[in-house]
Structure 1
């Protein structure tokens, strides 16, 4: 007789629990990619998810953390966010913006929610990782002088110039 355990999302056999405890990140990413394709997500979205998860996987390997899904904790994910915040640089050599870091977080959150919903993990470790506060930018309106300069640019003698002028005043 097989031992049965009850999770939030249904009844799982002990075999499924053993699988969840030994599931490697590479296998989980393959399952996640198949789910993205089955959901008919765009190729760009699927590629973006996989790229973000791959960056996380490489970071885990660099830090010599286990890539077994059950070993990835909220604390490890917080350390990864700290790495993104303090050490990771963008293509211009600057620190990543909070919006970029939140984008990494969204991809990992989607991945771990997938694992949770499939019953492969008992809790999503992403629930311990909060969004970073993003700065609120105020857009300054153009001055009257700037508006006049902008409207004087199109050549009103041509079709394209007149069209551009009409679009700007609309």
Structure 2
């Protein structure tokens, strides 16, 4: 009789791994552990709220459909059914569904990596394929209408004009603008320090003479406040991200701008378009916009590069025909 080896190997280890590392974990407790870890990593408050919102949306779906709320019992088919529900009952757009899937994937990847679950239903789960929609931007006429809308004889008008000018000059994100402190404005250096970034990599962005002059005027009007934030309310409190988010829609409506979404992100797209059309290189655009990869920058180049249009004039097959 052959004596078996006492040390477990291969598939035998897989058998006990599931038993030793997994526990019965309710969805809510899993979320508490996940969010606690996110806070420990000092993720942005906006990011944490995003995880809470989207993961709890999935949790509420499971409860409504009377599926188990034990995180270990969530299966891949539950994800499939959740997607079908979002598409057929809620009629959500593909980009919205993918936003939710990214949050759920992050949750389950965390739980699997920390061995709270032995099976990961989101492992290699593909996002929905979405046709790249045309990126909307402001025309030069619409920009003039937008920037002429604030009442420059009021503090809020000067503040909002400064905010919009800063967005157009630098292409920074809304959340980045909300995090700017007075000390981040480097007028003598002609730059702006961006601390509240999406990828946690702080960066400096250049500002033009026109923006420097407007920032100088605004800082004199702003004066000294208890908050260090650059953009403040008339009560001298920090203007929140939600408050800044309302600025461009407000003036877009006042200016009667139609056919384009009036938002900070549209100004960001407009910055990218104008920068590329004016000859900015892809690495310059990537650095200023703070993209961690070249994917979005390539989209901008493909859409807005005037060089593509000029080259097309030379190689178009129609050049060889006289209709």
Contact 2:112 2:119 in 1 (8 A): yes
Q: CA deviation at 1:129?
A: 3.4
Cα distance in structure 2, aligned partners of 1:62 and 1:141: 40
Cα distance in structure 2, aligned partners of 1:109 and 1:55: 13
Instruction: Please list the CA deviations of residues 98-126 of structure 1 after superposition, one character each: whole Å capped at 9, or x if unmatched.
Output: 11100000000000000110011223201
1:111 corresponds to which of 107, 113, 122: 107
Which residue of the partner structure matches residue 131 of structure 1? Answer: 127
Aligned residues: 143
Moved segments of 4+, more than 6 Å: 150-155, 167-170
Structure 2: gaps spanning 5 or more residues: 1-7, 149-160, 162-209, 212-270, 279-323
| TM-score, normalised with respect to structure 2 | 0.38
Contact 1:78 1:129 in 2 (8 A): no
Bigger RCO (CA 8 Å, 6+ sep): 1
Q: CA deviation at 1:137?
A: 2.4
The 1:40/1:64 distance shift into structure 2, 3 A limit, reads same
Cα distance in structure 2, aligned partners of 1:111 and 1:58: 15
Cα distance in structure 1, aligned partners of 2:77 and 2:17: 27
The 1:151/1:42 distance shift into structure 2, 3 A limit, reads closer
2:31 corresponds to which of 26, 29, 32: 29
The 1:31/1:135 distance shift into structure 2, 3 A limit, reads same
Please identify the structure whose Cα radius of gyration is greater.
2
Cα distance in structure 1, aligned partners of 2:101 and 2:144: 45
Which residue of the partner structure matches residue 82 of structure 1? Answer: 84
Q: Secondary structure at the match of 2:92?
A: coil
Instruction: Please list the CA deviations of residues 37-85 of structure 1 after superposition, one character each: whole Å capped at 9, or x if unmatched.
Output: 0111011100110111111111101100001111100001110011111
- How much is the aligned-residue C-alpha RMSD, in angstroms? 3.5
| TM-score, normalised with respect to structure 1 | 0.69
